Structure 1
Amino acid sequence: MVVSAQIAPAPAEKNWREANDAVGQFKRGHADILKWEKQNTPVVQPEASAAARLSLMSPEDAVRQAWLFHRGLVKPMNRIGAANVDLIAKGQWADVDPVWQRKVDDFGELLEVAAQGRKAWIQAVAARQVLKQHRDTLDAAEAGNELGRRMVSVGNWSKLQQAQVQLAQSSAQMNVRRAQHAATQAEATLIKTLGLTGVHSAVTLPDRLPDMPAQALSPQVLDARAEAIAAQLPRAEGMRNGANARLARQAYLASHALALSSRDEVLKVREFITEETVLHYNGMLKSVWDLLGEVSSQSQAVASAIEAQRDFWIAETDLQWVLQGGAPDSFVSLGGGGGEPAAAAGH
């Protein structure tokens, strides 16, 4: 359910009882009225951009664009062949023979550029998704504040009660500003990583991250791949790679478990609570404030799930990179930003 923030002023000649009777004509009461008002408010269409945006609808698009910026990588790409280049671009690194790490000069740089482009794309897409959820939360908070203002205007609420919902709106507005800044920074980082600074100021991205795999890679598969790459590296480098593989593996498995739990447990429970709140509201057992509060809580839960999904895809990229001999500077930290990323071995 979408709750709107743009609300037309209530007619002065109607008293609260008449307004309440009018609300009863809508299935979800105040919430549907607010939604109707926003849908019927004229929308100003943004002007078309003078320069067409570059479309990056998949991480593969980002990887290939990053390679274009590094022209010196043409030689190793020719050496490994188009089939292997496609596998790397699509993120199917497990299907690439690790022997190329030893046989082809600059193969490591080819993988590093691919990993950095892929991770920058993941960050940018996730940041936009999170921004949308915070905007939904702000919509609910603004709707609650406007309803509170109307309640005060007809004498059904005190200014203290309105101040409480006004504070919620201010908090939501601050979160939107933070999320907007994060999205802008993530897009700028993506553009810089792909070598597009001065060429494109914005890019077109999908609305959401790719779906997660239902199952993580098995320990047997991970062990076999770690042994395969270790056999291609000098002893000292192989030992560092082994240490990094353990860190990458831990981050990968933990982030996969957390993301699945967030999606399959937390969000499902939150959706159930929201549906029940709507039913209780329709039966006059819950207030509109309960309903708007639940809409806000659900948006926050979705934002957290997006961040968990983002962390998984970054951890997955780092793991694939390490298992081809790469050495990320650090590994993704989990737990809602509660700590610094784990430093990779040798850094």
Structure 2
Amino acid sequence: MSALSRVAGATLVGLLAAGCAQFTDDGGMAPVTDGIRREIGRDVVKLSTPEDARRARERVQALLAESLTEEAAVQVALLNNRGLQAAYNDLGISEADYVQASLPPNPAIVLNRTFGTGSFVEFGFQLVGNLLAFATLPAKTEIAKREFEEARYRAIATTLSLTINVRRAFIRALAAQQRLALLEQARETANASAQMMKQLGETGAANKLDQARVAAFYADLSVQVAQARLAVTTSREALTRILGLWGSDLDYRLPSRLPVLPAAVEALADVEIDAMRRRVDLIILRYEIVTLAKSANFVNATRYLSFLELGLGYRNEIETGSTGEQTSKNRYGIELGIVIPVFDTGQARLTAAQEIYMRAINRLVERSVNARSEARVAYSTYRATYDIARYYQSRIVPLRRQISSEVLLRYNGMLSDVFEVLIDERERINASIGSLDALRDYHLAVADLQAALTVGGTVPPSGVINTTPPPQTIPLGL
């Protein structure tokens, strides 16, 4: 019988060990890497070793050695942003929780030695195991596995959100830089006009009103240049932060101009269906609902039986008689500890689990409705900003240049005065800035459209159901 027990025990241990989850070689990063490469064609890496950090650093320096393009900026952030690395650490923590949940509980051994009156001595031990934990181990493992899969999609969502924010910061920094260059060029022209007007005033060829108008125009442009310089500093620092750069890396170079407007917009047949299929926040919520359903079923199954322990004991009693003769008695026993659900029947935990599950369903429905609307708005904005930028480039700016040429000819022919020239110059500058802003808004709309189709807004916090029964203490003793 003892041999049979040993075989049964070894078989049980083998089955439990076979059911235990194992750590992946990359901390669960393989699906994240594949998903990001499939979605945006970029590489992501978790910096787990000094060698990983060294290789990433070398690649970042190589990218920064050239003029930084938008795609290069995205790759730098994926390799260098430490907030993203912290999100990957969260994924590793989730994997550790999954592996931990798959492990069977360790048995406890209790040793005791008792001294009685006279020459009575007792020695014993107990081997105590949580039967409920063993019985519910497969269900807990499955729930933890689902939560780990959900954590992988959260890592993908964080990565996609970062790439979109990098694109937005890059476009804003580049537009601010180009705006400053445009205003500085206009101010140089205004400065030359002011100097010429001052010289003409000294000879009496220009009146004081014209001199004051030109000087005021130059002063106004000087203020706009100062504001543009501040915008360049703040927007570049925003880009620097999201790229994770500091020290000698701050001298990175940006292109001089925004990317040109494409010849035509991309026609998307049905952005709503695309958003429903690709958006990671919806995928996460679907995973969460399945996990919560399993958790609710688990709570329902254990609502009454929240504590069950089995104790196997051995006790040896030694008593010395008056003649000095010792008698020894061996005793074996088994005890079962169970909680009687008199006051806490588990109804509160079950109700909470059901409410959390329904909350997740309502969140998914709400997020799905919002996702459809966000996709429609993002695509409409994308089309509208393209049309506006195209109209600026094809009509407004060329017409302003034509008007400026005609006004200058009329001024040279003494058919118009300085005031009309200044008004025209201000309108021409405003048209150029408007065209630049329209081009910037178009590129931002491209990033916003990508966000609406892939990651959406902020992923809501996970609605975790507490599947751990309330702690109970049942004395076990022979």
- Which deviates more from structure 2 when the two are superposed, residues 151-160 or residues 186-195? 151-160
TM-superposed deviation, 1:123: 0.7
Q: Which has the higher strand share?
A: 2
Say if 1:256 and 1:292 are closer, same or farther in 2 by CA, change over 3 A: same
Contact 1:134–1:300, Cα closer than 8 Å, also in 2 = no
Deviations 1:61-82 (A, max 9, x none): 110011112463789xxxxxxx
Say if 1:224 and 1:242 are closer, same or farther in 2 by CA, change over 3 A: closer
Write out aligned runs for 1:85-104 (5 A). Answer: 104=153
2:388 to 243, 258, 261: 258
Residue 181 (1) aligns with residue 235 (2)? no
Residue 58 (1) aligns with residue 58 (2)? no
Q: Which residue of 2 aligns with 1:134?
A: 183
Contact 2:210–2:418, Cα closer than 8 Å, also in 1 = no
Deviations 1:220-270 (A, max 9, x none): 243442342368463333333223223322322222222112111111211
Distance in 1 between residues matched to 2:259 and 2:150, nearest whole Å: 28
1:152 to 191, 201, 205: 201
Say if 1:53 and 1:146 are closer, same or farther in 2 by CA, change over 3 A: farther
Distance in 1 between residues matched to 2:154 and 2:247, nearest whole Å: 31
Say if 1:54 and 1:196 are closer, same or farther in 2 by CA, change over 3 A: farther
Residue 121 (1) aligns with residue 121 (2)? no
Q: Which residue of 1 aligns with 2:250?
A: 201
Q: Which residue of 1 aligns with 2:52?
A: none
Q: Which residue of 1 aligns with 2:368?
A: 238
TM-superposed deviation, 1:148: 1.4
TM-superposed deviation, 1:144: 1.9
Q: Which residue of 2 aligns with 1:68?
A: 79
Q: Which residue of 2 aligns with 1:34?
A: none
What residue identity is the alignment partner of 2:448?
D
Say if 1:312 and 1:102 are closer, same or farther in 2 by CA, change over 3 A: farther
Say if 1:314 and 1:302 are closer, same or farther in 2 by CA, change over 3 A: same
What residue identity is the alignment partner of 2:177?
R
What residue identity is the alignment partner of 1:325?
V
Contact 1:101–1:325, Cα closer than 8 Å, also in 2 = no
Say if 1:53 and 1:173 are closer, same or farther in 2 by CA, change over 3 A: farther
Distance in 1 between residues matched to 2:405 and 2:458, nearest whole Å: 43
2:158 to 99, 109, 114: 109
Distance in 2 between residues matched to 1:107 and 1:287, nearest whole Å: 62
Q: Which residue of 1 aligns with 2:262?
A: 213
Q: Compute the RMSD of aligned alpha carbons.
A: 3.2
Deviations 1:87-142 (A, max 9, x none): xxxxxxxxxxxxx9997551111111111111111111111111111112212221
Contact 2:276–2:368, Cα closer than 8 Å, also in 1 = no
What residue identity is the alignment partner of 1:60?
E
Contact 2:174–2:254, Cα closer than 8 Å, also in 1 = yes
Distance in 1 between residues matched to 2:73 and 2:246, nearest whole Å: 14
Distance in 1 between residues matched to 2:71 and 2:192, nearest whole Å: 40
Distance in 1 between residues matched to 2:375 and 2:271, nearest whole Å: 9
Distance in 1 between residues matched to 2:220 and 2:150, nearest whole Å: 51
Give 4+ residue runs of structure 1 displaced > 4 Å after superposition.
100-105, 230-233, 278-296
Q: Which residue of 2 aligns with 1:162?
A: 211
Write out aligned runs for 1:219-234 (5 A). Answer: 220-229=269-278, 232=283, 234=286
Q: TM-score under structure 1 normalisation? A: 0.64
Q: Which residue of 2 aligns with 1:300?
A: 430
Which consecutive unaligned segments of at least 5 residues does structure 2 have?
Answer: 1-62, 90-148, 287-363, 460-478
Contact 2:161–2:455, Cα closer than 8 Å, also in 1 = no
Q: TM-score under structure 2 normalisation? A: 0.48
- Which deviates more from structure 2 when the two are superposed, residues 275-284 or residues 174-183? 275-284
SS at match of 1:204: coil
Q: What is the percent sequence identity of the aligned residues?
A: 26
What residue identity is the alignment partner of 2:74?
V
SS at match of 1:200: helix
Distance in 1 between residues matched to 2:169 and 2:178, nearest whole Å: 14
1:323 to 447, 450, 453: 453
What residue identity is the alignment partner of 2:211?
Q
Say if 1:101 and 1:240 are closer, same or farther in 2 by CA, change over 3 A: farther
Q: Which residue of 2 aligns with 1:85?
A: none
Distance in 1 between residues matched to 2:450 and 2:458, nearest whole Å: 11
Which has the higher Rg, Structure 1 or Structure 2?
Answer: 2
SS at match of 1:250: helix
Deviations 1:281-334 (A, max 9, x none): 6666566776676455433321211111111111110111220133279xxxxx
Q: Which residue of 1 aligns with 2:107?
A: none
What residue identity is the alignment partner of 1:192?
R
Distance in 2 between residues matched to 1:246 and 1:102, nearest whole Å: 28
Residue 311 (1) aligns with residue 457 (2)? no
Distance in 2 between residues matched to 1:270 and 1:215, nearest whole Å: 24
Say if 1:270 and 1:176 are closer, same or farther in 2 by CA, change over 3 A: same
